[in-house]
Structure 1
Amino acid sequence: MAHTEYVRDEHGESVKRYRSLLVDLLLAAAVLAFTIPTTAIGHSYALWGDPPDWLSHLVGAITAATMLVRRRTPWPAIIASAVCACVTAQTVPLILAAFSMTSEHRMRSWKIVALVLTAVYAVADYVDPYTDETLYLSVVRALTLVYLPALVGTWVCKYRGLVGELRAGVREREEFAASEERRRLARELHDTVTHAVTGMVLNAGIIRDVEDPAEIPELAAGIEDKGVQALAELRQLLTVLRRDEVPAARGADAIARLVRDAEAAGLRVDLHLDLPEDGLSPRVKHACYRLVQEGLSNVRKHAPGALVQVSCVLDGGQVCVRVDNTAGEGYHTHTMARRAASAGGGYGLDGLRERVTLVGGRLTAGPTPDGGFAIAARLPLSADDRSVE
């Protein structure tokens, strides 16, 4: 994706450079078209009289060449166009120089320079034997054809700057949205995979140490169920990515199922569930589900012999979710906990805190006085439902 955007930007910049070069070449050709033929037919003149043809050709060629560097610096075009007007009486380069001066550059003294170019145009137009030689009309033409293009150039420059800022803002927002999407997917993958793999690792450890062979089929079935559940959730997540939809929110029934699965894996869980099916936004329901899932996964990994209390209730217009456990007991359970912990990456609580914050809630996590651990969150009843985090 990043490589594609880079190639696209490079292609756009190349097209822009070629287009700019083509425009500059056309302007240089226009300057030559106004100066060289006029000298050839004998209609060029200088303010002091008839200039030699070679001088008119040279000045015209130099003025045309300055059109190729007008985007880098405005001064060569400004000086050359003024000299060209005085030597050949051709005023078109003055118009191009005045516009380029303000449209391609931010000059603080552009008004003074524009007035000087306007005066040069007015003088050259007034003494031109092929015009009406009316000072008033010469001044009007100078203001209209030199100062006005310079003024319009300032608007063009501001417009380009505004477009550049808008494009930069759009790109920044796109990068931020892509980053947030990656973080969301990382949270979903972590919560889905870690929960299932933790249960599978625990059951596998029990199978290795079990004394009664009759228990092995049941434990193996538990591993199979967890694997199937993980594959189903991953398939659902991939389907969401392909269809650009949102995953279905998991509510109170899913939380009860989590607790039943934990009990089937050997945990002792006391559930207090009192959440309405209606009135909660999908994002809040999903956050409750993930919080309970992460809490039970942590107990399985770090204190599988502990007593767990899960509470999901309404309190003061907010959803209160809490998973706390006592300290685990027994060497055998701690051995399994160390095995399960090796499968985790340590991102669960951080991702959970982000998830809770995104729905407008507050998360607390830490040890309890009895040596256990507690995860608690207070969530609003509703949140922005455009996506399910």
Structure 2
Amino acid sequence: MGEKRAGFVSRHRDEIVDVLLATAVIAYTVPQTLLRPDAWFPVPLWLSIPSAVVAALTLLVRRRTAWPSLAASIVCAAFTGQGVALAAAAYSMAAANTVRAWRATAGGLAVVFLLADYLAPEGHRMAFLSAFRAVAFVYLPAMIGNWEWAYRMMVKDLRESMWLREEHAASRERRRIAGELHDTVTHAVTVMVLNAGIIQDNEDPGEIRKLAKNVEDKGVRALAELRELLTVLRRADMPASAAGLEAIPALVAEGNVTGLQITLHLDVPPGLLERQAEHACFRVVQEGLNNVRKHAPGARVQVDCEACGDVVNVSVVNGPGADHDGHPSVEHPGRSGYGLVGLKERVNLVGGWIMSGPTPEGGFALTARVPCVPPDAASRPSAVSAR
């Protein structure tokens, strides 16, 4: 029962506040008018009491429009000599922002209150005191209403900006996961397809079993990485299966088995890089070899990964490839843009930068620099060209 009541109050909070405000105006104005009429001129009760009730009822629509409550409160002040409706109308128009020129309107209402207070039959006839009351009971509520409106707008802007930040964070996370999926699935499927093609052209049972075992291992590895990826959503976390520098020799050996001619130079002391930075280096080599398989099959490839001062330089450089007839293959510049863009984001996350482009010999080079101690990624230049 308590939860239902709380839910009702939460859903109808504005309406309840409006009813209470109208009730307060009636509760103060009607008894005062009955006990001590203070109108500017003689007004019968059958006219003054309804004016107070109407002024109170117009507050029920104060959030949509202010003019009914403003006009009714002025009439109520003239017929009853009471300024409570004026104060409520002044506060409401500013708090709901229903009147653009609220300062001038509040000043006009304050003048009406001043006249009602000064011209009351039993009044003190002190203009200074009436002016002070007008400012305190009419203009000040309008200022408070404007402050409330500004506060609500500030809270709204903060919520919207928070929502935008959450959306941007979610978008970055989706891109990160998409990049992980791209790197994992593309590499695994490429190797499995190449091995399957070699199996079809091979008649040696021992070699076939070896290649089939390699296909199985790559499939199991890819499934394990995908399962871990789905459970790791924070950018700073790395799955247990995330490969580092120690996995690059196996990556090179795997490429040589599938028809590439790869030479590796790996000279990075253990523990020099954080795990996330090592994984970025691994992905650079992996993406470079995948691109060579797709765009320059049969090419000679040089893979270098070495420490130089406070950075680790990683490069995958290939010469021109050859097609199945032995002729130089022609690269299509638009076929691998997504992988390099995702790789750029990955390297930038660890404070490094990456470049790619053709070599004078007609091949292609993918080069990255990864700092040993990740600095602010924004302070590093980065460039990448679509392949």
TM-score (norm 1): 0.83
Cα displacement (A) at 1:140: 3.0
- SS of the residue corresponding to residue 232 of structure 2 reads helix
Over the matched positions of the two proteins, sequence identity in percent amounts to 53
**C-alpha contact 1:251 1:277 (8 A) present in aligned 2:** no
Task: Name the structure 2 match of 1:302.
Answer: 295
Counterpart amino acid of residue 28 in structure 1: A
Please tell me whether residue 238 in structure 1 is matched to residue 263 in structure 2: no
Q: Relative to structure 1, is the Cα distance of residues 333 and 52 closer, same or farther in structure 2, using a 3 angstrom cutoff?
A: farther
Cα displacement string for residues 276-295 of structure 1 (whole angstroms, at most 9, x for unaligned residues):
32332333222111100111
Task: Name the structure 1 match of 2:362.
Answer: 371
Cα displacement (A) at 1:133: 5.7
Cα displacement string for residues 89-122 of structure 1 (whole angstroms, at most 9, x for unaligned residues):
2211111112122222185643333232223223
- SS of the residue corresponding to residue 140 of structure 1 reads helix
**C-alpha contact 1:308 1:325 (8 A) present in aligned 2:** yes
**C-alpha contact 1:282 1:385 (8 A) present in aligned 2:** no
Please tell me whether residue 22 in structure 1 is matched to residue 16 in structure 2: yes
* In 2, Cα distance between equivalents of 1:125 and 1:25: 27
Task: Name the structure 2 match of 1:96.
Answer: 88
**C-alpha contact 1:304 1:333 (8 A) present in aligned 2:** no
Cα displacement (A) at 1:233: 1.3
Which residue, 192, 202, 216 being the options, matches 2:184?
Answer: 192
Task: Name the structure 1 match of 2:304.
Answer: 311
TM-score (norm 2): 0.83
Q: Relative to structure 1, is the Cα distance of residues 281 and 61 closer, same or farther in structure 2, using a 3 angstrom cutoff?
A: same
* In 2, Cα distance between equivalents of 1:98 and 1:275: 74
Q: Relative to structure 1, is the Cα distance of residues 327 and 230 closer, same or farther in structure 2, using a 3 angstrom cutoff?
A: same
Q: Relative to structure 1, is the Cα distance of residues 131 and 255 closer, same or farther in structure 2, using a 3 angstrom cutoff?
A: farther
Cα displacement (A) at 1:17: 6.7
Task: Name the structure 2 match of 1:323.
Answer: 316
Cα displacement (A) at 1:323: 0.6
Task: Name the structure 2 match of 1:66.
Answer: 58
Return 368-377 or 170-179, whichever deviates more: 368-377
Q: Matches of residues 253-272 of structure 1 in structure 2 within 5 Å? A: 253-272=246-265
Cα displacement (A) at 1:308: 1.4
* In 2, Cα distance between equivalents of 1:242 and 1:251: 19
Which residue, 255, 260, 267 being the options, matches 1:274?
Answer: 267
Q: Relative to structure 1, is the Cα distance of residues 244 and 327 closer, same or farther in structure 2, using a 3 angstrom cutoff?
A: closer
Structure 2 unaligned residues grouped into runs of 5+: 1-7, 378-387
- SS of the residue corresponding to residue 347 of structure 1 reads helix
Return 231-240 or 86-95, whichever deviates more: 231-240
Which residue, 193, 208, 219 being the options, matches 1:216?
Answer: 208
* Count of equivalent residues: 365
* In 1, Cα distance between equivalents of 2:321 and 2:254: 19
- SS of the residue corresponding to residue 331 of structure 1 reads coil
